[in-house]
Every structure is written in structure tokens, then in C-alpha cells.
Amino acid sequence: MKARVTIMLKDGVLDPQGEAVRHALGGLGFAGVNGVRQGKVIELDLAATEKAGAEAEVARMCESLLANTVIEKYSVEIL
């Protein structure tokens, strides 16, 4: 079973990486980009076969390792 975790900075947390991308896009002539936020995506290949259990397990992984929940939010998607 595959799971995808998307981790983004919380709204209101400054994202210098996204800001740099926005600035670079403007420099390349792409107009009309009002904002950019950059985050991480982690794809996990799990041995688990039970969807609800896998989702809870991945949420525990996020809380303990994958995301910094002080400044980041995460979402788990079972594929």
C-alpha cells in the first residue's frame, strides 16, 4: 500500500524558499504569480494492507519524525 504525505509550512509562517521561487519566476518573465509556498512530499511504500490502520500509522510517523508540527501542517493520503 502506498501513502503520500504532504507537508507545508503553516499559514503565517514565513517561507523564504517559496519567496525565492516567486522572485525567480518573475525574473524569468512569468507575470501573475501572486504567491508561492514550497513544501515536501513523502511517498511511503507500506507493507500494511488495512487502510485505516495504515493512515493512523503514517499520522504517527508525521507526529514523531516527518513533520515539525510547531511550524508545519501535514496531510496523509492513502493511494
Residue 25 CB-density burial (10 A; 0-12 exposed, 13-18 middle, 19+ buried): middle
**Closest-CA residue to 8 (of 35, 54, 40):** 40
The residue within the footprint of a second copy, chosen from 10, 13, 14, 44 (CB under 8 A), is 44
Helix (H, G, I), strand (E, B) or coil at 23: helix
CB of 1 to a second copy, least distance (A): 10
- Cα four-point dihedral sign 23, 26, 32, 36: negative
CA-CA distance, 77 to 79, in Å (whole number)?
6
Q: Which of 28, 52, 70, 79 binds a second copy (CB under 8 A)?
A: 28
The correct pick among 14, 16, 32, 52 for binding a second copy (CB under 8 A) is 32
* Nearest residue (CB) to a second copy, 25 versus 70: 25
Asked if 19 touches a second copy (CB under 8 A), the answer is: no
Applying CB under 8 A, the residues found at the interface with a second copy are: 6, 8, 18, 21, 24-25, 28, 30-48, 57, 60-61, 64-66
